[in-house]
Each structure stands twice: as structure tokens, then as C-alpha cells.
């Protein structure tokens, strides 16, 4: 009886175990093999999906600014991918991936964010129709990133205080 051991989630660039565990003694003693996971193919998006994504990016910028951060959409909105992040916030060293969809493909979104982040920490922001925005990130990054969010709010306060403070003549 062959009892295979599969992997539910591997990300592009990771190495996945390709050998299967088996009850056959000759197969159990064979060397373990690893193979690099191939990159995910880009899927062409229709105009309606692109517009919904752009609207989602604008929504999240408004929400994050309302919550005390200083955020903006990146240059990708005019066709230039200067940074692969959808949104950047001053004082927040995270790659931000925005997903405005009814059915989030969680592991595909995480794989895209991880690939685009190029080694930096990342978050995926998601919202479905009629639902609030949620943040998805790796557990081990959560504590440090929470502290960074507080620091990002302080950056905005400093910038606005400098603008509003009258200079002594």
C-alpha cells in the first residue's frame, strides 16, 4: 500500500520534497529528492478586474491615511513598475499587496506578495464586497510589524506638525 505524503502549500522558489514515503522497504531507503518549485504563470486580467484592483488600492490608501498613516499608490498605476508594491506608506518597511476580490486565492496572493517583496516582509490586504479590510501576514512578522505601524503614524505626525507649526520671526 503506497501512502504518499504531499504538500498543501509550496511557494515559487522554495524547494519541495519530491520523494514519496512508502510502505515498500526499497522505496523507504531511497535518497530524498528535492526540486525547485516552478514560478507561477502570470494570468491575464480583464479590464474590469484591473479597475476593481485600482479602486481597491485607492480605498486602502484612504483607509490607511484615515488611520494616521501617510500612504500612496505606487507608480504602477500609470504603467511604470518602479516598485512592485501596490501601496507604499512612509515609515512602514513592508511590501503591501492589495486584493479586492470576492474569492481570495490565499496562497496565490501570498506567493505573489513574497515574490514581489524580494526578501522583504510583506502583507496582503483583502476586502470582499460589503466586508471590512483584513490584513494577512506571516505570524513571525506580526509583532515587529505592529511596532513599525506605530512608528509610521509618528512619521506622519512629525511631517504635519512641521507644516502646521509657525516659525518664530
Give alpha helix (H) positions in the chain: 25-28, 47-66, 106-117, 139-164
The pLDDT tens digits of the residues spanning 83-141 come to 578 899 888 888 999 999 999 999 999 999 999 988 889 999 999 999 999 999 988 78
- Cell 504563470, located at residue: 41
Phi-psi category of 55—alpha, beta or left, where left has phi over 0 and alpha has psi -120 to 50? Answer: alpha
Q: What domains can be seen in the chain, in order of their start residue?
A: 1-39 (no CATH), 47-164 (3.40.1350)
The pLDDT tens digits of the residues spanning 44-98 come to 678 888 888 888 899 999 999 999 889 999 866 455 454 578 899 888 888 999 9
- Whether residue 7 is predicted with pLDDT greater than 80 in this model: the reply is no
Distance CA 44, CA 25 (A): 46
- The Cβ of residue 85 has, within 10 Å, a number of other Cβ atoms equal to 22
Amino acid at each position: 500500500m503506497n501512502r504518499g505524503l504531499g504538500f498543501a502549500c509550496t511557494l515559487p522558489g522554495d524547494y519541495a520534497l519530491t520523494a514519496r514515503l512508502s510502505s515498500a522497504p526499497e522505496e523507504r531507503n531511497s535518497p530524498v529528492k528535492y526540486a525547485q518549485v516552478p514560478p507561477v504563470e502570470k494570468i491575464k486580467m480583464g479590464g474590469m478586474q484591473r479597475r476593481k484592483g485600482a479602486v481597491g488600492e485607492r480605498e486602502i490608501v484612504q483607509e490607511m491615511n484615515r488611520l494616521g498613516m501617510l500612504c500612496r499608490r505606487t507608480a504602477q498605476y500609470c504603467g511604470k513598475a518602479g516598485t512592485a508594491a501596490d501601496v507604499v506608506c512612509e515609515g512602514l518597511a513592508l511590501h503591501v499587496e492589495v486584493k479586492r476580490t470576492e474569492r481570495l486565492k490565499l496562497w496565490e496572493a501570498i506567493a505573489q506578495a513574497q515574490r514581489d517583496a524580494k526578501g522583504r516582509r510583506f502583507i496582503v490586504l483583502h476586502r470582499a464586497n460589503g466586508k471590512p479590510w483584513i490584513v494577512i501576514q506571516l505570524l513571525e512578522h506580526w509583532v515587529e510589524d505592529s511596532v513599525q505601524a506605530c512608528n509610521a503614524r509618528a512619521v506622519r505626525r512629525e511631517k504635519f506638525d512641521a507644516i502646521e507649526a509657525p516659525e518664530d520671526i
